[in-house]
Chains A and B, each alone.
Chain A
């Protein structure tokens, strides 16, 4: 029973980290209509900045720099590339982001090389015990930070002019623009927010029990795509739900791998999220909490 509980807690805390990344996908998608395939590289960029800087300026300042760096990267990608697409539509924008991802990921991979960089996080490899259930401290911190982050996002989107403006821009860009909302500003805010969330998620994704910062992190950030799709393309609360479902699924499948192995084979934990995603796309193409697309003729 305690093993089961441990897997559930592990899955939920991992899911919260995924939901940070998934929220980044959702925010970029609603604010600029771009499927940001480079998001995984931005996650890696955040973790990489922390790993490189923590020795000289300490972990927390390094985290601040990484958040700023990832935010700037997002804003620049939007301002320099996405806005200047010759054909602006979702398909070409997605392919553009694949191009950005190739460049960013290749460069980071080259810099990291074969080493696994350490983060220097203050929680290190310590473990928190609740009765006979233990959980890595990093995961507990992650859960707390994620809850705070989503509370902040809720406040932003429902209580501030900027956030309401972003929602208006997402709902109907031209009308919002006529009402005096600067679309360039809402778009930049969206990309910056996504970058900040990515950097934070990158730190938690690479701290214990993960070995450290390695290029494969960008790929594990891809696991947030099923979470995003599951929750709904334009829904930040959906990202939380999706993250939790996907986190729980992969933790349970991985945790009970020895029992499942004869049915689904080894390593199914990595694949299960995508299976869930395809099923969801089949049954509810706009996700659990996403708004349905209406066709106007």
Chain B
């Protein structure tokens, strides 16, 4: 005869913290936490005592002091009497400008090169391979200073444009001047401008919003929406009757017409650069530093993007194309409906991480004197105020914020295009 009894309750012993897998992970985590806190406390303690010895307690007050240095390439209005905070803001905007410009050109170039590398043309495919290997295997910093040297050494000086028979002439019907001090392009001007709104008063973060720009954006948005409605209506008619009405002329008229009316109403014209004295006046001046950085980053990143695009296209099996054409799709629809959606799933994640790399590489602007956030906050501001800790930490935080927002976009995209299985 047997009786059922509970298994004997095991007494908790101290050694179980080490030998029992139920408790051991807790022990390890407590030790890891303890070690981490100890390290952090040691570093902070060292830092505080060192700063105290140097007489520089952590203080962000320097941000409201006048920066007293100039930033020659900038988006908003800024003078050397403005504060360090405003200088850092200019730097941040400059970083974003070169990053966005670079991402756009790198993508365009990279896609072209990636497709050409797969071309059936032997010579073109080889040339593109040489391009990719040449740019991938030489440091980007070297490319940046190299492009800067090309701009400075080989382009004509502004003085070469002067005289009866000048050595250099402006390109694109006298509208663009390419000189060794930078490129001058026409700027958009409005003779009957609606004016600006001044936001945030006199603070360091003040900025002006042009009402003209807002009007243009609003009209553009409305006409795109209207054009979209026309397409939807055409789809409905096609589904109901089987005939698709021609819509392209209506859509073009809807998009172009209101915009033309608005531009004429605002008195839109271009301000051309013209040689006055020793330099060009008028127009928008893109300095060498911006162009060198932009060009070098685009060319360098394009080599990586080309490889990604090539891998993405090669990853789609030929059967997909054949199946799609067996269904009776035309070749541009095969590309749009079958190949691209699948290739993009392979291409986009590494593409975005290359955008991230480009943004981080834009910090090399300091080598050519382009005043991005590294050049302002991590460069002149840091050297002038001697606040290394505050400046470098803030600089890191700014880049971290940019990187994390880019990776948030990437995660969102990955979730959206993930294969939905079962």
**Chains A and B are bound partners:** no
A residues sitting closer than 8 Å to B (CB atoms) are none
B residues sitting closer than 8 Å to A (CB atoms) are none
